[in-house]
Structure 1
Amino acid sequence: MLKQIVTITSVFLLLLGLFPVQSEVRDDSAAKTFLETKTKLDSAITNGDKQELIAAKNNFEGFIPNHEYSMLANYYIAYANYRLSSLFSDIPEDRKEQYLNASIKKLEKVTEMDPTFAEGWALLGNCYGMKATGMISGMRYGPKSENAIKKALALVPQNPRVTMINGISLMYKPAMFGGSIEKAIKTFKKARDYFGQWSSSSEPYPDWGEAENYAWLAQAYIEQERLALAKEAYQTALQIDPDYYWVKEVLLPELQQKME
């Protein structure tokens, strides 16, 4: 009789939403671990910590079977590979190429999983652009890069990371195809404004790039020999992220040498 009362009471509480459901506990645990891994990934990029970055990337692999997090896990693995292909000078060039190819493969999967995910299209477009290093590769990857970025802009035209990546594309795209430093600067300034207004739809989604946008703006100013404005942009990046390795240890020292 007592067992029946307990069972009936449990069912009643469950219907009211007062009884803890085991699957929800597991989901909460997964959400917490996912956010912790994302934080470690962001920290590794900020601090230029290659081993921490690789560890965070490997941890995201464990989320791929989880339907709720699979797409984002693939995105962050691709994002980590993208950073490994471009951030560290001590990685051999052939290994960097492997990381870039792995990033493209993952991002192509991400955009298949969710064709409305603008962040995936934008980063894919950026990675395609990095492959366009010569005439033949430019003919192959240039249109792919442009199409991917256009898809991202059409989906969320005021997304700051999408806009920033479009600015990077305009910096490196030949003038005959619409690229220019002045257009890039205007685009980075748009991204700056969008960062001030943007909030991610939920915590697991991407929120990186505000300090990086100033780093790219500075590099565009350097192309125009506007070194004082470039220094100001780098300093703003460090105000946003004081430990930003790429600016603090690489870009700003290079600029200071130019200004001496």
Structure 2
Amino acid sequence: MTRIVILLVALALGSISQTNAQSKYEQGMKKALELWGAQKPFESSNMFERITEVESEEWLPHYYIAMINALYSFGVTDKEKLTLQLERAKKHIEEAELISPNNPEILIIKATINTAWIAYDGATYGMTLSMKNAELYKKAFELAPENPRVVLSKAEWDMGSAKYFGQSTEPYCKDVERSLELFATFKAESTMHPSWGKDRAEEVLKSCK
């Protein structure tokens, strides 16, 4: 999971504009992502939180707070710590959704939070949250079938479900290939919007072969 996080951070950092005419918001976002890239994820998360206090109409800082807290919850065995992180992630992704409803990027993070709970205790959370994730990925795909992160994330979820039930993952490997085709032409809405996923898709495709 750490390797995935590093890949995501590198991609996020690469998406920030390097121009001299950055706004204070852009400068703050860039600094927060640099902290994450320097392996200081929770300092980064705290800085994103300070940005949200000033930029109340921006969904991206909430998105990144949720993303950091969700990703760094995988492998946490202390339930109190896990609960604090995932509740923080949930709070901020809900704030992001209020600002930007029906946003497929946000739906992916909501599903990631659920997956972290399932990874912690599948017996307790698996059935109910798996159903919710299926709905989230279905909605995200309906909203943005050409978004490579949506296609990749849904494919990975479907592959995990197939493995759990002893079914073939081959159909979903084709979806991963499709996501790579989409990454080749995808243009983010701005330099600060999510653009991660290509390296992860390549890694997953290797496991298919």
Q: TM-score, normalised by structure 2?
A: 0.75
Answer with 75-84 or 136-145: which moved more: 136-145
Segment of structure 1 superposing worse, 122-131 or 146-155: 122-131
Equivalent position SS for 1:197: coil
From the CA coordinates, give the structure whose radius of gyration is larger: 1
Partners of 1:152 and 1:195 in 2: CA distance:
17
- Equivalent of residue 167 in structure 1, options 117, 137, 155: 155
- Measure the CA separation in 2 of the matches of 1:184 and 1:93: 33
Determine if contact 2:104/2:140 at 8 Å carries over to the other structure. Answer: yes
Which residue of the other structure, out of 54, 65, 81, is the alignment partner of 2:42? 54
Alignment of 1:209-224 (within 5 A): 209-219=197-207, 221=208
Measured after TM superposition, the shift of residue 198 of structure 1 is 0.6
CA contact (8 A) 2:163 2:169 kept: no
Structure 2 portions without partners, runs of 5+:
1-21
* TM-score using structure 1 length: 0.62
Task: Output the CA distance in 2 between the equivalents of 1:139 and 1:83.
Answer: 21
The answer to whether the 8 Å contact 2:108/2:153 transfers is: yes
C-alpha distance in 2 between matches for 1:67 and 1:105: 14
- Percent identity between the aligned chains? 22
Alignment check: 8 A CA contact 1:63 1:73 kept: yes
The answer to whether the 8 Å contact 1:118/1:156 transfers is yes
Please state how far the C-alpha of 1:205 moved relative to its aligned partner.
0.9
For structure 1, the residue ranges without an aligned partner over 5 or more in a row are 1-26, 222-228, 230-260
Deviations 1:71-127 (A, max 9, x none): 2111100011122113xx6x5443345433432332233223321211001221232
- Give 1:55's aligned amino acid: E
The corresponding residue for 1:129 is 115
SS at match of 1:202: coil
Q: Does 1:67 align with 2:56?
A: yes
| Structure 2: distance between partners of 1:145 and 1:106 | 18
CA shift digits 1:185-220 (9 cap, x unpaired): 11111111111111110112111121122222234x
In structure 2, relative to structure 1, the CA distance for the partners of 1:136 and 1:92 (3 Å cut) is closer
Query: d(CA) in 1 for partners of 2:33 and 2:135?
Result: 28
Work out which structure has the larger RCO, using CA pairs closer than 8 Å and 6 or more positions apart in sequence.
2
CA distance in 1, matches of 2:67, 2:164: 30
Q: Partners of 2:99 and 2:117 in 1: how far apart?
A: 23
Runs of at least 4 residues off by over 6 Å: none
Aligned match of 1:99: 85
Letter in 2 for 1:37: A
Letter in 2 for 1:107: I
Aligned length: 184
Partners in 2 of 1:183 and 1:96 — Cα distance? 33
1:169-248 equivalences under 5 Å are: 169-174=157-162, 180-219=168-207, 221=208, 229=209
Match of 1:34? 29
CA contact (8 A) 1:173 1:180 kept: no
CA contact (8 A) 2:69 2:85 kept: yes
Give the alignment partner of residue 149 of structure 1, picking from 122, 129, 137: 137
Q: Which residue of 2 aligns with 1:139?
A: 127
Question: Secondary structure at the residue paired with 1:85?
Answer: coil
User: Does structure 1 conserve the Cα–Cα contact (< 8 Å) formed by 2:111 and 2:136?
Assistant: yes
**In structure 1, distance between residues paired with 2:189 and 2:143:** 14
Local SS of the residue matching 1:79 = helix
For 1:212 and 1:176, how far apart are their aligned partners in 2? Answer: 21
Whole-angstrom distance in 2 between the partners of 1:196 and 1:58: 33
